Every structure is written in C-alpha cells, then in structure tokens.
Amino acid sequence: MPGRFRLAPLLLVVATMGAAPALAQVQRAPREFRGLFGGSRAAPGQSRTSLSLTFTAMGGYDDAVLGSQGATPTPTPQQMTASGYNGLGLAELLFRHGTEDRHVEASGLGAVNVYSVANAGTSKNVRGGLRAQTRLARRSTLRASVGAGYQDYFTLAAVPIVLGPDQTAPPPTSADFAVADRRLVDLRAGADLDHGWNRSHSTALRYTFDRVDYDAAPPAAGGIRYLYLGDSWRQRGAVEHTVAFSRQASLLGSYSYSVSEMDREDGTIRPMDEQRIEVTARYEKRVSPRRTLVLEAGAGGSLMDTVDDATRQPVEYWSTIGHALARIDIGRSWSAQALYQRGYELRQGFNEPFFTDQVRATLGGFIGRRFDLVFQGGYATGVLGLASTRAGGNPYRSRDGSVQARFALASSAALVASYVRYYYEFDHPDLLPAGFARRNDRQVARVGLTFWLPLLGSWRQPGGTAAPAAGMEN
C-alpha cells in the first residue's frame, strides 16, 4: 500500500493514554427505553437465543487527515495536515444464547472507510470473538473470552463510532485514528474467576494475554510514514480480594504481575515486567429504584523491571499509581461519570511505556423516547519513556471533546450524528519515532444511519446493571 498514510495519530494521547481502559471500566445502569436500539431483555433465569445484525453507514468531513510533506518527508513532521470527505460502512453480527448467569456470545465485525483525500485509500478491518460465562457454584462465576482481528492499518486505540447511553464501548476497530498503512493480526484472550466466600469476603483471579504481529516495514514513499512497529506480546495475572463492610461500602486490595516482550528495530527483544499493588475504597448506593450513586478511589505503586534501551543494562523504576471514579444516575435515563487515572501504559508498536495522568468525563441520556445525547471530554498529561520519575523523557499534553446524538426512526433504525475535536503535542519531536507528528489539532464530523435487524429472537443481555457491593450478592 505504498504512498498511503491514514489519519492523524490522535489516539496516542487522546484515547490510548488510559481512555480506552476508562471506557472499558464504565458500568452504566440500564437507562434505555424498552424496545429501542437493540431489543428487549429476558426475564431473570429465562433462557433466550438471539441473532442480530447491526449496520451503520455514515459520511462526513475530516480535518488534518494526512501529513503533507511532499516527495521528501522529514523524519519528524511537526503536524498533520490535509482535509477531505469520508464514507464509513460497518456491519456486526452478534449471536447470544443462555441466561444472565450462563450464556455464550459470538460476534463478527467488518468495517470499511473510504476517503476523498489523495493517497488515502480504503481501510479495512475484520474482527471476531467468542465470550462465555457460567456459574460454577452458588457463589462462583467463571468468564472466558477470545478474539482475533485483521486490519490493514495501525492504530494505537479507537473511540467508538456510535455510542449511546445504553451501550458499552465496542472493541477498537475504527480507522479514524490510524497512524500508518501496516497490516497486522492481533489475538486477545482472557479468563476471570470470581468467588464469594461469604456475605463479606470475595476473591477474583484474572488472566489476560494479547499478541500483535505486523507486516514488514513499507518502503519509503511520499507522505509521512511510520516506519517501524515491533511485534509484541503480553500476559498478565491478577488477584483481587474485596471486603464488604455493608451493602454500600467495600474495600478492595489487588496485586498484578505482567510479563511483556517487544521487538526492537535491530532484531533484539526488550523485556518489560511490571508489578502493581493497589487498595481501592468503593461506595455504591441506590438513591432510588432506578438510580445509583458510585464513588471509588484507589492508590498504590508500580514497579517496572526492564533493560535500558541505550545501555541494555537491567533497570527498575518505581512510581505511585492511582485512580478515582464518580458516577451518578440522573432522572429516568441520564447518567454522569468522571474518572481519573495515573500510571504506566504499554502501547503497541512502542518499546517504551507511557506514564500518564488523565481525566475523563461522560454525560449521556435520553430526551424523550427517541432522542439521546452523549457528551465526552478528557485531558491528559505525562511522559513517554521510563524517565517519568526522573529528568528526561518526552512530555506530552492532550485534550479532546465529543458530542454524539441519535434519533430513533423506528425500533430498529436511527439517525446518528457525531462531532469530535482533539489536540495533542509532544515537547521533543527528535525523541519520537520516525514519521510521527509532534502535534495535531483535528476535527471530525459525521452523519448517517444505523440499523439493528433481529434475525432470530431479540434478547439483549442487561449489561451495566448496577450490582450490589462485592461480596454482598446473596
């Protein structure tokens, strides 16, 4: 795919600096109106089977799409430029069977983006996954998942294209935040085992594995190129123990150990192991039958064990980490949430971690039965590299904001519109990988239609249902 470079690397700091994990941690209460945007729920304990197809078609305008450096691109461009129109088509097939306690889910997704800007061709993405959950005993639950994907572009993460207040964040599939034409295959798997010892104590064991393999680096061509991406793999194990003092208040202690390896450009491998320990206090209260208040705060430490990339000698880095979360359900269908996170993040394609402090806020809900709005915003600051606790590194800053609206034309069709604006900047362009822009200021606006077609049944699992404090389930 010579000569092509798609869309600015926003997500390095806008979403990958903890934004994607933040979205994954959102626990929204079921705030939707029955029958709109995806079917109805099964009664507790009732077994249901469903097969549904979701299709989305959107068009819009992108600002700062390409790096315009002419025939002789500089190794470290200062910013991203060029604007144009784009079209998006996305289809997802979803199968579910079982009850809320015991179910299996299989999904497949394909997306195509087409751009009017010269040297920005069509981008493609195909992804599939399998997820299952079962109760092993009265107080034990086992969850497992596996997924794989292929795409012809490299992206550090993604922001959902369509996100309503009754939806959880889909996997990162959007090409809007690609930084290079690089074919890649990724594999992710994980398993969780939760056990409640009694009404006050519960323990969770968690394991995750992910691997990314890229194609060979492309030859030099016009436009900005992200020349090198190293294959990587990581596995992580964690144990968590929760003590519930009441139905509202609980204290959680967690320890995790991760092992990672990333390929260097010279063919050698850089190992990177991390140990984390954190203590979290949580308060959750139902303020009405349909509304819940959640407050959470945690603090701890991270020990990074790796080798210096220059001297190749073993080094260790210690840093404080933490997070804070607040969420409140407002009225019948609105919900507001704010999240703060601090810590290391390992990102694909880099053999240096990012240390970041970031804040994100979300507000969403329905206006009447047919119209919903979602507002999101975030700010992040930190350092690229392990020198975050010492002099050096490459400081960065980012901010972003978005608004997404949906109007139901029928129970299975809706008009969708979205607007996103974001900005990032690094202080030292000479410390960035070749072809990576120092700063970017970009706007994206889209409008289109989304359809949900129930091919078999119409069951939707009640994801995000407010649960009692851990250890107090029964």
CA distance 451 to 168: 17
Task: Give pLDDT tens digits for 277-292.
Answer: 999 999 999 888 878 8
CA distance 240 to 263: 31
The confidence score (pLDDT) of residue 166 equals: 41
* Stated length of the chain: 474
Please answer whether residues 127 and 173 qualify as being in contact, where contact means their C-beta atoms are separated by less than 8 angstroms.
yes
26, two tokens: 């959102």
The confidence score (pLDDT) of residue 262 equals: 84
CA distance 15 to 263: 24
The confidence score (pLDDT) of residue 310 equals: 74
The confidence score (pLDDT) of residue 387 equals: 56
- CA angle at 412 for the pair 409 and 418, rounded to the nearest 5°: 60
pLDDT grade, residue 317 (50/70/90)? Answer: confident
Please report, as a single letter, which amino acid is at residue 239: V
CA distance 269 to 311: 14
CA distance 82 to 99: 50
- Mean predicted confidence (pLDDT) in 332-342: 88
CA distance 471 to 198: 7
Report which of 451, 452, 319 is spatially closest to residue 382, judged by C-alpha positions.
319
Report which of 303, 280, 300 is spatially closest to residue 389, judged by C-alpha positions.
303
The confidence score (pLDDT) of residue 36 equals: 53
For residue 152, give every residue at least 6 positions away whose Cβ sits within 8 Å of its Cβ, in sequence order, or none: 1, 123, 124, 125, 181, 182, 183
Q: What is the dihedral of CA 113, 116, 122, 127, to 10 degrees?
A: -10
- Mean predicted confidence (pLDDT) in 10-17: 27
Report which of 278, 287, 286 is spatially closest to residue 242, judged by C-alpha positions.
278
The confidence score (pLDDT) of residue 419 equals: 87
Percent of the chain with pLDDT over 90: 25
| DSSP letter for each residue of 375-398 | EEEEEEEEEESGGGGSS-SEEEEE
For residue 257, give every residue at least 6 positions away whose Cβ sits within 8 Å of its Cβ, in sequence order, or none: 236, 237, 238, 273, 274, 275, 276
- β-bridge partners, 299: 279, 322
pLDDT grade, residue 140 (50/70/90)? Answer: very high
Report which of 96, 113, 115, 109 is spatially closest to residue 55, judged by C-alpha positions.
109
Q: Please report, for residues 175, 182, 412, 426, the alpha-carbon distance to residue 398 in angstroms, rounded to integers and kept in the order given.
A: 20, 25, 37, 9
- Dihedral class, residue 100 (left if φ above 0, else alpha if ψ from -120 to 50, else beta): alpha
The alpha-helical segments, DSSP class H, found in 381-431 are none
Please answer whether residues 397 and 384 qualify as being in contact, where contact means their C-beta atoms are separated by less than 8 angstroms.
no
Task: Give pLDDT tens digits for 196-242.
Answer: 999 999 999 999 998 988 877 655 444 344 556 678 888 999 999 99
pLDDT grade, residue 9 (50/70/90)? Answer: very low
98 CB neighbour count, 10 Å cutoff: 19
422: pLDDT strictly greater than 60: yes
